[in-house]
Amino acid sequence: MQKIIDKPSVLRHVNKLRWAVLTIVFLMLILLPFVHLYQTYIAAHAYDLLLPYEKIIYDNMEWLTSPFVSDPEHDLDAVKGTTWSGSLFGLQLSDPLAVVSQFSASLSLYWPFILTALIPVVVTVLLGRVFCGWICPATFIYELNDTLAAWLRRAGVPLGDNVYDKRIKYLVLGIGLVLSMLLGSIMTAAIYPPAIIGRELYYAIAQGAFGVGAVFFLLTILFDLLVARRGFCRYLCPGGALYSLLGRYRLLRIQRVVEDCNDCKKCNVVCEFGLDPLQDGFGQECNNCTACIAVCPTDALVFKVSTKDVPYQGPGHLGHTWRQQQKQAQQEASE
Amino acid sequence: MKRRRFMKTVGAYTALGVAASMPYGLSRMLSPYAYAAPHRHIPLPGALPDPDDFARACIGCGLCGEVCPPRCVEFKRREGGSEVNTPYIDPAKKACILCNKCMEVCPTDALTEMPRREVDMGIAQIDRAACYPWVDEGICGACVVICPLGDDAIGFTFANIYKPAVKDGCVGCGQCVEVCPEPSLPIRIVHRSEGTIAKHGVATRRRSY
């Protein structure tokens, strides 16, 4: 008990920061199509001809954006796009999966496009699969969905919690790339939730109707809810597979401090990706989302800089198992 | 026993492949490709000339639609085909203004920047049996007035001042299609090889894109 008061950790609040980032990204994906509509209304110079609901959009967007821009029709082009591919103040960023699958579809290298994925790739190599935990708009919905599943379970609804082989997603990535190659269109975009959410929100808000991707996304939500917890991200997501491969030798890792651990297993329960922090089992799938750090009652999980995980360190020193072992060792020593 | 396990593995992988290609299959199933009006699916300015090359290069990010000032860019959604989520323009609804924004923002080589006179989205074709001035049913000239490329692209035929004729400089932006007030739909954007004057008969029903 003394431990908690002695060492208040800043790290346990990083999870809140992550939720703020996820929320901001998701809200931006909703906001940008409205911004686009607003720019169109400005360009048309016809405020008086707008329908009542269009006037509401116009007024609200004007109120939201006027502190930041002086010429909204052109200045608001600074931030456009989705997490699949977007431009941010003149800097174009693309998902590495977009680059890889566009290459496999066209079988030709287009360097301006490949360079747009440079920053995401470098960030992934250094920090691991952070896109999945910190930015992905699908994660925002999937984690809320997971909370819903927890409530339903508590209320007594039987929901599936099957465990499959995590390597299936590499196969999905491979099949997606081969299909892209054979069919000459980018198939991974059709099954990659962040890409789907980005464009479906845009279709729904700016173009008036959802596309086919919305059906697939609903199916993945149902899969997560009824079949396997966070199943799509864990077992099927092709982008997650690519990010896992890129982040295999990441520098920033979460490590268990065995002296502070009390074997409570909350980290294993809270981990969305089904990893095993209690037995130092992080691996390439860990996306540094810090949920386990936030939940740890003794602050036994910390960040460290290393290219390798430590092997299993044994039971935590604040736990029952370790005390028993010590007692036994003492007895054996005295005998 | 080994064989059974092998069959199980193959079965699982096949099921996975089917599941992975499901959105594609759904998009194909939900509606067949609309062959009826090819001139309502014209490519974006600066697009790769071959539709298959374009489908290979486009990642479906939607940026071209998001920056388009007149909001003319639409996306194939339930039309089917392998070009799901790729952009097109329907000039009869809303036409391109040749502002170059989509070419600037496209991350891939699907749309490449080029001067507006080198853009090739097709060419305007006038049906002289449907255009009111051509059948002496009135005076119009809307297409000639709206054309952003002016004299190089469309003009009146000599000595018949309201009868429009398309010239080789036309890039197929579709402003004339959007503005044309005549319900007989006399003007449309077609592939450059089909010419600027509509030929009546079977040939005009050919699919151009």
* Cβ-based contacts of A110 with chain B (< 8 Å): 57, 108-109
A149 and A124 part of one domain:
yes
For A325, the enclosing helix (H) or strand (E) is helix A320-334
Smallest CA-to-CA distance from A139 within A24, A254, A282, A268 is with A24
Q: A276 pairs with which residues across the strands?
A: A281
B24 at the A interface (CB within 8 A)? yes
Segment A17-37 shows an average pLDDT of 94
> Could you tell me what percent of chain A has a pLDDT over 70?
98
The CA distance from A287 to the nearest CA of chain B, in Å, is 24
B10: in domain: no
B23 at the A interface (CB within 8 A)? yes
- One-letter amino acid for residue A228 of the chain: A
Return phi, psi of residue B42, to 5°.
-95, 155
* A111-153 pLDDT, tens digit each: 999 999 999 999 999 998 999 999 999 999 999 999 999 999 9
User: Measured between CB atoms, which of B52, B60, B107 is closest to A189?
Assistant: B60
pLDDT of amino acid A5: 45
| Residue-range definition of the domain harbouring residue A111 | 96-248
Selected residue of A97, A106, A171 to mutate for chain B interface (largest B Cβ count, 10 A): A106
User: Measured between CB atoms, which of B55, B65, B84 is closest to A212?
Assistant: B84
| Residue-range definition of the domain harbouring residue B155 | 122-201
B82 vs A36: CB contact, 8 Å cut-off? no
CATH number at residue B98: 3.30.70.20
B10 at the A interface (CB within 8 A)? no
- The mean of the pLDDT values for chain B is 83
A117 and A196 part of one domain:
yes
pLDDT of amino acid A238: 94
Distance CA A329, CA B5 (A): 46
Segment B40-58 shows an average pLDDT of 89
B33 at the A interface (CB within 8 A)? no
CB A113 within 8 A of CB B109: yes
* Cβ-based contacts of A50 with chain B (< 8 Å): none
User: Measured between CB atoms, which of B21, B67, B107 is closest to A77?
Assistant: B67
Domain boundary among A183, A213, A248: A248
User: Measured between CB atoms, which of B85, B86, B107 is closest to A94?
Assistant: B107
B39 and B61 part of one domain:
yes
Question: Long-range contact list for B117-120, CB < 8 A, 24+ apart?
Answer: B117/B149, B117/B152, B117/B169, B117/B171, B118/B171, B119/B45, B119/B46, B119/B171, B119/B172, B119/B173, B120/B49, B120/B171, B120/B172, B120/B192
Residue A259 has pLDDT above 50, yes or no: yes
- The mean of the pLDDT values for chain A is 89
Instruction: Grade residue A335 by pLDDT with cuts at 50, 70 and 90.
Output: confident
pLDDT of amino acid B24: 67
Smallest CA-to-CA distance from A130 within A32, A29, A22, A220 is with A22
* A67-108 pLDDT, tens digit each: 888 888 888 888 999 999 999 998 999 999 999 999 999 998
* A277-304 pLDDT, tens digit each: 898 888 888 999 899 999 988 888 888 8
User: Measured between CB atoms, which of A80, A110, A190 is closest to B67?
Assistant: A80
Domain boundary among A202, A222, A248: A248
- Higher pLDDT: B195 or A23? It is A23
B11 at the A interface (CB within 8 A)? no
B65 vs A94: CB contact, 8 Å cut-off? no
Domain boundary among A248, A281, A296: A248
Smallest CA-to-CA distance from B82 within B150, B143, B21, B7 is with B21
pLDDT of amino acid B19: 76
B45: in domain: yes
User: Measured between CB atoms, which of B30, B85, B108 is closest to A113?
Assistant: B108
Residue B64 has pLDDT above 70, yes or no: yes
A155 and A207 part of one domain:
yes
The CA distance from B158 to the nearest CA of chain A, in Å, is 35
A190 vs B84: CB contact, 8 Å cut-off? yes
> Could you tell me what percent of chain A has a pLDDT over 90?
47
Instruction: Grade residue B34 by pLDDT with cuts at 50, 70 and 90.
Output: low
Segment A315-329 shows an average pLDDT of 90
A113 and A142 part of one domain:
yes
pLDDT of amino acid B30: 59
Residue B83 has pLDDT above 70, yes or no: yes
Residue A1 has pLDDT above 50, yes or no: no
B206: in domain: no
B110 and B150 part of one domain:
no
Mean pLDDT lowest among A235-239, A240-244, B29-33, B181-185:
B29-33
CATH number at residue A272: 3.30.70.20
B13: in domain: no
B145: in domain: yes
Domain boundary among B79, B100, B115: B115
A212 and A315 part of one domain:
no
A220: in domain: yes
Q: How many structural domains compose chain A? A: 2
Instruction: Grade residue B207 by pLDDT with cuts at 50, 70 and 90.
Output: very low
Helix %, strand %, coil % for chain B, to 5?
A: 35, 10, 55
Selected residue of B18, B59, B72, B89 to mutate for chain A interface (largest A Cβ count, 10 A): B59
B18: in domain: no
Segment A250-257 shows an average pLDDT of 90
B144 and B99 part of one domain:
no
Residue A159 has pLDDT above 90, yes or no: no
For B188, the enclosing helix (H) or strand (E) is strand B187-190
Interface A-B, measured as beta-carbon pairs within 8 A, has a size of 147
Instruction: Grade residue B208 by pLDDT with cuts at 50, 70 and 90.
Output: very low
* B148-202 pLDDT, tens digit each: 998 889 999 877 678 999 999 999 999 999 999 988 889 999 988 888 888 875 4
* A169-219 pLDDT, tens digit each: 999 999 999 988 988 888 898 889 999 999 999 999 988 888 878 888 998
Comparing alpha-carbon positions, the chain B residue that sits nearest to A76 is: B67
A32: in domain: no
Segment B95-107 shows an average pLDDT of 92
A278 and A230 part of one domain:
no
B104 at the A interface (CB within 8 A)? no
Instruction: Grade residue A46 by pLDDT with cuts at 50, 70 and 90.
Output: confident
The CA distance from A61 to the nearest CA of chain B, in Å, is 16
A75: in domain: no
